[in-house]
Each structure stands twice: as C-alpha cells, then as structure tokens.
Amino acid sequence: MSSETHDFLLLTLHKEEQLLRSQWLRNVTSAEYREGVKVLKNCIVQHEIELWLTDSRLLDTILFADQQWLKREIGPLFKSSSLQRIARVLTEDVFNYIWLENIVQQIKEEHEVTVELAQFSSLEAAFDWLRME
C-alpha cells in the first residue's frame, strides 16, 4: 500500500487489489478540483486501477462548468483504462448525487463503456460493494 498526499487530496493505492482510494480533504476551488481529477486520472492509468473508492463528503456541489469538463476529461479514460467500478462516498445532498449519476450516464452513452458507479453514505458500504464478485 502506498499513499500520496496533496493539500486537498489524499490518494492511497492498494496495488494487490488494483484499488485506488481517494479522499478529498476539504472543499476545493475549480482549479484545485481540475488538478485533483488530473492526478487521479494519471494514477488510474499508470497503476491499471480496476476499483476506485472516492470519498467526496467534504466537497460542495461541483460547478456546472467543472461537471462538463469532468465529462470531457474522464469519458475517454473510462473506455481506455482498466477501471471497472467506482464507489463514491458523499453526504446526503441529493444534488451531489444526481449530477454525477447524470454525467456517468452521458459518458456511458457517448463512449459505450460499462464502468459501474454506485454512491454511498458510508465507507464500509462502498468497500463492500467494490469487493463484491
């Protein structure tokens, strides 16, 4: 297991499981969000990540412009990487839940990918789902 910490993002890599755990450590600016997504994207490709657990509980709702940027940035990643499942832990804010569901659905339709996404309110439930066969 190895870890990498940024001012606003903690990455923990479980190589034996091809699992990446990311945790947003605070709310971020638009520039920080984009920087963090690029770091995550590079890690997913470099380490051939199959399972990704992201803890987004400290993030506020992402700006619409950043949502659209995210779709353009990670859409091709879903198709070209080893990524199979994404588990996202978030607060019970329905808007945070809905926007990502919509983005992932659009990516699936545009890029014909089968990456699974599930969103949870607890880390334990997210880990359990990721590790299901």
Q: How far is CA 49 from CA 7, 32, 80, 88, 92, in A?
A: 23, 22, 12, 15, 27
Residue 2 has pLDDT above 80, yes or no: no
CATH homologous superfamily, domain 2-130: STAS domain (3.30.750.24)
Query: Is the whole model's pTM more than 0.95, yes or no?
Result: no
Band (129; pLDDT cuts 50, 70, 90): very high
Tens digit of pLDDT for each residue in 83-110? 999 999 998 877 777 887 888 788 878 8
Tens digit of pLDDT for each residue in 21-73? 999 999 999 999 999 999 999 999 999 999 999 999 999 888 999 999 998 98
Residue with the two structure tokens 């490709």? 45
Band (111; pLDDT cuts 50, 70, 90): confident
Rounded to an integer, the average pLDDT of 99-124 is 85
Domain boundaries defined on the chain: 2-130
Tokens of 126: 């997210």
Residue 3 has pLDDT above 70, yes or no: no
Give residue 23's identity as a one-letter amino acid code.
Answer: Q
Tell me, what's the pLDDT at 110?
83
